[in-house]
Amino acid sequence: MLKIYSLFGLILITLLSCGSRQAGTESGKDTPESSIRQLNIPEFNADSAYTFIEKQLSFGPRVPNTQAHREAGQWLASMMDTYADTLYLQQSRVRAWDGNILNIKNIIGVFRPDMQRRILLCAHWDSRPFADYDPDPANHYTPIDGANDGASGVGVLLEIARILSENEPGIGVDIIFFDAEDYGIHRLEGRSDEDTWALGSQYWARNPHRPDYFARYGILLDMVGASGATFKREGYSMMYAPNIVRQVWDIARRLGHSHMFLNRDGGYIIDDHYYINTIRNIPTINIIHQDESTPHGFFPEWHTTDDTIDVIEISTLRAVGETVVNVIYSE
């Protein structure tokens, strides 16, 4: 998936700046609150989300224009058709940075279409065609499995879709699996073009499945399954939807997950949410693993052939999934 830091000018100053408010109590410890539990919020099954990740990987790298991509897309569409009240398949052709025409499919599940008040949940379902950060140069043009980078967000949202199908929410919910997020420019090209990433969400933002579509806010899940994951307050999320960031991080803290949802500001990342914010004007945040100990700022296996099922940790899936479920059913 694309993750490009905007490290120019004043943005560089804010990249790793600490938040001014401490999470939890004055001692910094989590204080789960019984009030959140009293809402009879459905339980998130992290084992189910893990199984959904395994299934995606079983097709092989989900690179547009490949058989694995077509088969994985058919399976995802069938799952959403089972769970959602209404299914939209948004198919199009887009031109990639290398001149290739990509056949893409955005998969959209609608829950409670009768409700005017809506929220948007999203992730990307394709995987990177190039392991361009692999330590072995021989792998730099090898497609990756994308277990964490792509499949983890989809796995969490599929489990949430199952929950929504069995427990009617009090608000309309739309789940979108964006395509061609990770077909961005190869790093060895020596040039930067941020708009070569997130092609599916750029297309949807300009051509939504309903012309009048709007949601109160959106949540993007990206790289939400790795062991030791840390989620900082991403820069564009704070720029366009600071109140939603605070709401989600506060719920995570109350549930005891502030060791992952850090009370710190992170980098500015061009991702699907950027185009939802800037083109569609829906305030959307990005829950994304950021790791300042790596040279690229993401989990160690990012854009390598090692982004396999072995990097996925059940407890991380549970923390993210439980937080988002509480957000939905607290509305």
For the stretch 57-76, pLDDT in tens is 999 999 999 999 999 999 99
Q: How many CA atoms lie within 13 A of 307 on its CB side?
A: 35
**End-to-end CA separation in angstroms for the chain:** 30
Residue 102 contacts residue 178 (beta carbons within 8 Å): no
Q: Find the angle CA(244)-CA(183)-CA(286) to the nearest 5 degrees.
A: 10
Residue 62 tokens read as 């989900």
Residue whose structure tokens are 């547009």 = 64
Least confident of 23-27, 34-38, 213-217: 23-27
Q: How far apart are CA 309 and CA 306, in angstroms?
A: 9
- Here the tokens at position 2 are 């694309």
- pLDDT of 192 reads 76
- Enumerate residues 6+ apart whose C-beta is below 8 A from 214: 118, 280, 282
Q: Which domains does the chain have, with CATH numbers?
A: 10-329 (3.40.630.10)
Please give the Cα distance from 293 to 282 (Å, whole number): 32
Q: Per-residue confidence at 40, pLDDT binned at 50, 70, 90?
A: confident
Distance CA 314, CA 11 (A): 34
Q: Classify residue 325 by burial, with Cβ atoms within 10 Å: 0-12, 13-18, 19+.
A: buried
Predicted TM-score of the model (pTM): 0.89
**290-296 contacts, C-beta under 8 A, 24 or more apart:** 290/230, 290/231, 290/232, 290/234, 290/266, 291/230, 292/16, 296/3, 296/133
Whether the CB-CB separation of 269 and 234 falls below 8 Å is answered with yes
pLDDT for 163 beyond 50: yes
pLDDT at 212: 93
For the segment 229-247, what is each residue's pLDDT rounded down to a tens digit?
999 999 999 999 999 999 9
| Strands 261-265 and 217-222, bridge-based pairing | unpaired
Give the contacts of 11 (CB within 8 A, at least 6 positions apart). 235, 268
DSSP class of 86? E
More confident residue, 185 or 8: 185
- Strand pairing partners for 177? 107, 123
For 5-32, b/e burial (b = at least 16 CB within 10 A) is bbeeeeeeeebeeeeeeebbeeeeebee
pLDDT score of 38: 52
- Using CA atoms, how far residue 184 sits from 9, 196, 228, 275, 310, in Å, is 24, 5, 26, 15, 25
Show the 3-state SS of 156-215. Answer: HHHHHHHHHHHCCCCCEEEEEEECCCCCCCCHHHCCCCHHHCCHHHHHHHHCCCCCCCCC
The sign of the dihedral angle between the CA atoms of 244, 238, 224, 214 is: positive
Give dist(CA 316, CA 321) in Å, integer. Answer: 8
Q: Per residue in 35-52, is it b (16+ CB within 10 Å) or e — as a string?
A: eeeeeebbebbbebbbeb
For residue 191, what pLDDT is reported? 80
Looking at the predicted structure, is the pLDDT value of residue 277 above 50?
Answer: yes
